[in-house]
Amino acid sequence: MFLDVSHLVVQYAGRARPAVADVSFGLAAGEIGVLIGPSGCGKTTLLRTVAGLEPAQGGEIRLSGQPVSAPGLQLPAEQRRIGMVFQDYALFPHLDVGRNVGFGLSALPKAERAARVAEVLELVGLGGAERRAPHELSGGQQQRVALARALAPRPQLMLLDEPFSNLDVELRERLAHEVRAILKAAKTTALFVTHDQLEAFAIGDAIGVMHEGQLHQWADAYTLYHRPATRFVADFIGHGVFAPATVSTVDGHVVLQTPLGPVNGAAAAQAAASLAQGGPQDLLLRADDVVHDDEAPVKAEVMRKAFRGSEFLYTLRLASGETVLAHVPSHHDHRIGEWIGVRADLDHVVMFPRGG
């Protein structure tokens, strides 16, 4: 692994619990990792510790095989060859774009510096912008200049902490894709922090979900969504609810009972196997497991709806009183208070012990 974080512990003085608690993960060279989690879960602390801006109390960080943080060792930030783009990492307002980008290149001869500045500006789509002043640029362009400035000295690792959080939603989504392309073109290994799932999915080769200092899962987006390792990850990623999982045998077949009616087949067999391990369990019902079907015998009342372009996210209440969420194509525009038919369409089941 190019970046190797192993059993890392970071605890602020006077705090009862560590901000980062026994966290381990790795990034291969050229890979982009994303840390995601609710406010206060320790993402920024972890990133700052990798950067060398916070001391670790335990564990090890290796960069390209070399320990940069270990018991008795904390390599200073400036010796780690790490580039950083932070939300509040503003450009120098009195320097033009070229001087901003060339800021970390003072060791290079003038001509080489100018060539490298031109090269990274080209990379971020701002070729020829050297003479422009930061205030003449849009927020998105300024962040691309900040990215160019961080990339210019050829860091071995890039760290980005919510670099788009001051920008509007549409621009954020576009920039997320652009930044991924730029980092890939620069063949840079990068670790990115966000609390926005769509941003994480757009950027990350691997995504780590953190909660209260712990890393619950480190996996690609597909695995996080479909095979969440813990109940917290299942709840945090995507839209869904938990319902009690029970199986029964009907005419010799195993049937999974859900609030949306019985489910047969592979999903039922999988649920039965999981329940056989003992103890009550809950079944995750994602919004895309709940299908609107006028013919379905189970009806649900539309409580809320959020328009998302191609689909609605409906919040539905069943006659049994339980709430479920459903993604429904947006041409099915039902009124609040209307009752619509719903059924479960489970490809596989995700279950966790109750109360876990």
Ligand X SMILES: Nc1ncnc2c1ncn2[C@@H]1O[C@H](COP(=O)(O)OP(=O)(O)OP(=O)(O)O)[C@@H](O)[C@H]1O
Task: Confirm or reject binding of residue 216 to ligand X (CB under 6 A).
Answer: no
> Closer CB to ligand X, residue 12 or residue 339?
12
Give the shortest CB-341-to-ligand X separation in angstroms. Answer: 40
Among 5, 45, 63, 98, binds ligand X (CB under 6 A): 45
Tell me the site size for ligand X, rule CB under 6 A.
12
Give the shortest CB-163-to-ligand X separation in angstroms. Answer: 13
Give the shortest CB-351-to-ligand X separation in angstroms. Answer: 28
> Closer CB to ligand X, residue 194 or residue 315?
194
Task: Confirm or reject binding of residue 143 to ligand X (CB under 6 A).
Answer: no
> Closer CB to ligand X, residue 90 or residue 115?
90
C-beta of residue 194 within 8 angstroms of C-beta of residue 41: no
Site string for ligand X, 15-44 (x = CB under 6 A): x---x-----------------x-xxxxxx
Among 132, 195, 299, 334, binds ligand X (CB under 6 A): 195
Task: Confirm or reject binding of residue 110 to ligand X (CB under 6 A).
Answer: no
Give the shortest CB-307-to-ligand X separation in angstroms. Answer: 27
Structure token pair of residue 178: 């652009």
Give the shortest CB-197-to-ligand X separation in angstroms. Answer: 13
Give the shortest CB-20-to-ligand X separation in angstroms. Answer: 7
| Sites of contact with ligand X (CB under 6 A) | 12, 15, 19, 37, 39-45, 195
